[in-house]
Structures are given as structure tokens and as C-alpha cells.
Amino acid sequence: MNILIVEDEFEIAQLIRQTLEKESFNCHLALDGLKALDICGQVNPDLIILDIMLPGLDGLEVCTRIRQKSPPKDPYILMLTARGEEIDRIIGLSTGADDYLVKPFSPRELVARVRALLRRSLRHDSTQSQSYHTQNFTLDLDQHIAMRHLKKEEIETLDLTTLEFNLLATLISYPGRVWTRNQLIDKLWGHDFYGDDRVVDTHIRRLRKKIEPDAANPIFVKTVMGLGYKFEDEAV
């Protein structure tokens, strides 16, 4: 597994690199945002550890550009942030980060977060071998393609990140079922997830912006107050 570490404090970057290389990960290092984008295009990492405070391009901008480029691999992104920064800003709607880790952190917690993210990739690769069809959507799990059916038989291919695709696939697999935040975390992040369960709300908002006619008034991904979320659409 290739991991790109983007951290401008060299001592911290080296500590992260040494910690992960002891766990047999192949690590690449960038000390600023522009270098990170260059290396990302060369090595196609499976996961990026990205500090939010970088010289030049900050971590949020780097994350946004990586998501916009749609590289051959859609890497998982773990944001590093100083204590006290707003979680929703770090994993917010404009960035596409998958998880965050607050400094200072222990090497053990770092490894646990990395393994949890990468385990998601292995789990979904091994189980996705079918398609889902509803009146308004088709998901091809083998080719990782999500499509929305528009009026007049038009079809729109949805530009979803890996996490958004897997979130939609989970919800659409059981139309009408209510999923709690903890159930979605266990399904998508794994039972050893250490983060805040608000990460689910953030990615639900991102998904709604891409699939709903009006994200402020969703008709497909609905909130069940006090419980969680459910997907509503007629099966085909």
C-alpha cells in the first residue's frame, strides 16, 4: 500500500514515515502542497496523510484539487489538524477528506486510523459484485459507476468519491431501512473507527448535493429524527 505524507514540519513527517514503514507501508513524503500534488500524480497513493496547515497551498486546497482531478485511484485522505480547529471545516463539504486526526496523536492511534481506512478499500473490493436499480438510480458495483435517471430517458453519471459511492450503495441496498450513524460507521469505516460520528452527517450532506434535485429538501436520502438516515426510491 502506498501512502503519501504531506507535512511541512520535517521532524513530524519523519516520525510518521518511520511509524508507518515499521508496519510495512510504502511511504512518500512531501513538505508542501504543490509538491504533494506532483507526487500524488506520480505514485497514485492509496492513502494521503495531509496536514491542514501547509505553506503555499493549505491542506484544504490540496484535498480539493486531488478530488477534482479524479486520479486513477481515488485515495483516502486523512487530515491532520491542530487541537481546537472545527471538525466540520476540516472534513467539510468542499474538501472530500475521509477522516481527521487531531495533533498531538500517538503512533498507535495513527496506525489504527490508517488501517481502518485501508481496510474499507479491501472490504468493498471483495464484496461488490452486483448492481442496484431503482426508479431514479443505477449503481454498478463492479465498475464503480453511479447513474441517475433524468427526464426524457436521459442518464447522468454521478461524480462520487469512493466514500460517497459506498455510502450510497449501503443506503440503496436496503430501501426504507433506517441506518444509525454507528451502523454506517461500522459498515464504511470499520468497528475500530476512532473519530467523531458527525463525519457521517458531513458525508451525507456531500452526497445529497450530488444526487438530490434540492439538497436542502432531500427526497432520496432522508433524515429520521433521533435515529439516522434512510434511502427512499422505488425498486426496479
Domain chopping of the chain, boundaries: 2-125, 129-231
Q: How far apart are the first and last CA of the chain?
A: 38
The CA–CA distances, whole Å, from 34 to 11, 55, 63 equal 20, 9, 11
- Least confident stretch, 16-20, 124-128, 188-192, 219-223: 124-128
The residue ranking higher by pLDDT, 69 or 228, is: 228
Is 2-125 a domain of CATH 3.40.50.2300? yes
- Least confident stretch, 10-24, 83-97, 137-151, 207-221: 83-97
> If one looks up domain 129-231 in CATH, what number appears?
1.10.10.10
Distance between CA atoms of residues 65 and 37, nearest Å: 8
pLDDT (mean) for 24-46: 92
Among left, alpha and beta (phi > 0; psi -120 to 50; other), residue 234 is: beta
Domains 2-125 and 129-231 share a fold: no
At 87 the pLDDT is 59
- Residues 140-177: tens digit of each pLDDT: 887 888 999 987 678 889 998 888 898 999 999 888 88
